[in-house]
Amino acid sequence: MNFVFYNNLKLYQKITVVIFTMVLLTALSMYLSSNYIFKQNFELSIKKRVSETLEVTHSIIEDYHNRARSALGIITLTPEFVNAVTAANLPYIREYLQIIQSNLLLSIIEVYSKNGELLTRIEAQNIQNEKYHTLAQSVLLQDAFIKLKKSCDIEFHNGALQIKAVMPVVSPSTFESEGAVVITYPINHYFADLLRCITNTDVLIFNPEGVPAASAVLNMHGQREFTNFEFEVEGFKNKYQSLPDFIFDSKTKKLKEKYCIARFNDKSYALGFSPLYKSDHSVSGIIACAIPLEKLYEVQNKTADFLKGFLLIIVFLTLIISYLFNRGLTGPLSILTQKAQIVKSGQIDDFNIPVTSHDEIGILTDTFNQMTFSLKIMMNELTKTNKLLEQRLFEIKVLYDISQSINFISDTQELLSKIIQKTIEAVDAHHSSIMLLNDTTDELEVKIIQGIAPHKFNDQKIDFENPSITGALAGARIRSNLGIAGAVFHSAQPLIINDTQKDGRFHKMPESNYIIENMICVPLISNNKPYGVINVVNKNGGMNFSENDLHVITSIANQISLILEKVKLYEQSITDGMTKLFIHRYFQARLDEEIIRARRYQSTLSLIMLDVDHFKRFNDTYGHQMGDVVLIGVAGVVQSLIRNNIDIPARYGGEEFAVILPETDIEGAYRLAERIRFEISKKEFEHNHKKVNVTASIGIASYPLHATSKLDLIAHADLALYKSKENGRNKVSIYEP
């Protein structure tokens, strides 16, 4: 729908119309619904008050029951009174009961003999009515005489409601009834007045037929007479002398309605009903609370009229205030509109509107003022973002190249050298190195170093592209708590140091004359624990390392950590934990490979089998811990004399060792075996401050001279070993057919 009138209004006028319409609709809905709301709240409050009053009246009636029971207990359990009833001592009984009545404020007290004869009756002065007298043949009395039953109930007797409590007088010697005592509280007009005084609400009491029995309601003449109840049923108002059937069915003695509005004594009352039950759960009467409604209706109507008038005043005040407020609020928008037209023409630099407020319009004005400046900043940020994207693409390329190297290079040293080279290129640095922790010495040891330009080291040119040079530098050590590397290692946090001379943590190695100007140091972490660092030193061109450089190095360090972790796991899987030599399974696999290679290239292969002499006797003499020390020492001798990365030493089993010697003939194997035997024999082990020596017997077999299969080669080397043992031990023997 197109509202032409509304569309032609100015902004402040539109806002005023919208606000006024919303307030008017809200006020109108509240105005129209106020009568219903007040009526509902009024009825709820009346019902709540009636319900609370009925609860109090029932509590009062129950209190009368308890008072009657307590009084009967006091009376009938007194030995003197029991004796007086047995002897029919009327003067004593009357005197005693008058004292009890005056102290306990009892209404009527009756005493019967065991024959049902009334001995005496004590009545309050204001209650002398035969309606409340107890008949000798009543069920309550008969139960007391015959069954010795005590009871308290509400009875409708002789046209009057009354609370009646009966207790037998029992002889303590024979435990037979000597009579009975009855206490009666009339439920009459005075009782209704008492309830009104306590509850501050008029009370009506009806008998089991629904006929009024007592009332605290007075008519206009101050009388208790009330007739012609007027109830509205199905839209028709009818008059009743008693409670109508739709409220209380006098035949079935069932209460059908708990709340209604009625007129009597020319007044409207809110009535709440509650039955009075006998001990057998039958209804003995109805109690009702009556709340006059005329004054409440008057207060309700006055309150509703006041609120309706107040709503009208709010509507008109809202119209005036919203008009004035919106006129002042939208004033700066006209200025902003004019300036925006200038911006639209492209004159952004001239756009500068004074900000006079801190509300949304002020924020909008300030936003327009900053538009040109923001656009310029965005262009600069876009340029920086492009550079950052280029940097990230370069990082991805570097990581891709590294991943390709991982896929195609199997040698760990070569792979790490390739990664280090890529690291140097990625951040344009002079050189880089990896330092790993030596658990034994608690030192960080240079494992690999790589560079792209010559540098000074001990007054000599260092060409990092020469593997022999970099290999010589590998092995340099520093305590794990010294230098930048130590700080990074212990904190597990990377560092950028762009001026090492001003950093107190920097530690220069004494043997090095190489000047380190700046560096990045990143921890190598496995299982949340650092085990080394990667150093990148001296950015080319005298430049400083940046956060981007650190990001690249950190990513590469993660790759290196993965590689070294895999290498470590692989080495643990093929290495004996105690001797650090290869395990038997790895020895078998490598021997297969070397025999195949020797067969393919028609080269030689030798196998050394070594056994520590009298090792069982040594263990029995010096203990198994000393035996382990000997095995570690023998393994160390073997490891120190063989060729690194060529010969394959293994712990064959127990105190027996084996060494695979690729491309080694029998003469070369014999020379190496003799050196091993000699070094073992002269190695000293300390036990209880004494020097202990061991010897070893060695057997040698060669491929293809002595055997052409793996099993034969092992068996023949083993036979040569036993030959050395048979010839006195501490010998080297070559297999002879």
Q: How far is CA 492 from the centre of its chain?
A: 31
Contacts from 83-92 at CB under 8 Å and sequence distance 24+? 85/111, 85/113, 85/119, 85/169, 85/178, 85/179, 86/169, 86/171, 86/178, 86/179, 88/113, 88/119, 90/119, 90/120
Asked if the model's pLDDT at residue 38 lies above 70, the reply is: no
Number of H helices and E strands in the chain, helices first, is: 19, 29
- Identify the pLDDT of residue 696: 94
pLDDT tens by residue, 519-572? 888 888 877 888 788 888 888 877 888 888 888 888 777 777 777 777 777 777
Global pTM reads 0.40
Q: What would the mean pLDDT of 283-295 be, rounded to a whole number?
A: 83
According to CATH, the topology of domain 575-734 is: Alpha-Beta Plaits (3.30.70)
- pLDDT, tens only, 683-728: 888 888 888 999 999 999 999 999 999 999 999 999 999 999 999 9
**pLDDT tens by residue, 376-386:** 566 567 667 76
CATH fold for the domain made of 393-569? Beta-Lactamase (3.30.450)
Q: Which residue has better confidence, 210 or 656?
A: 656
Torsion of CA 303, 308, 312, 313, to 10 degrees: 0
DSSP secondary structure, 335-374, as one string: HHHHHHHHHHTT--TT-------SSHHHHHHHHHHTHHHH
Whole-angstrom Cα distance, residue 161 to residue 186?
6
Q: What is the distance in angstroms between the CA of the first residue and the CA of the last residue of the chain?
A: 115
Determine how many CB atoms are found less than 10 A away from the CB of residue 602: 7
Give the list of residues 6+ apart from residue 83 with CB closer than 8 angstroms, or none.
89
pLDDT of 455 strictly over 60? no
**Domain range 188-292, CATH architecture:** 2-Layer Sandwich (3.30)
Average pLDDT over residues 328-345: 63
Domains of the chain, residue spans: 77-154+165-179, 188-292, 332-369, 393-569, 575-734
Tell me if domain 188-292 and domain 393-569 are identical in fold. Answer: yes
The H-or-E segment that residue 588 falls in is: helix 584-601
Q: What is the pLDDT of residue 461?
A: 44
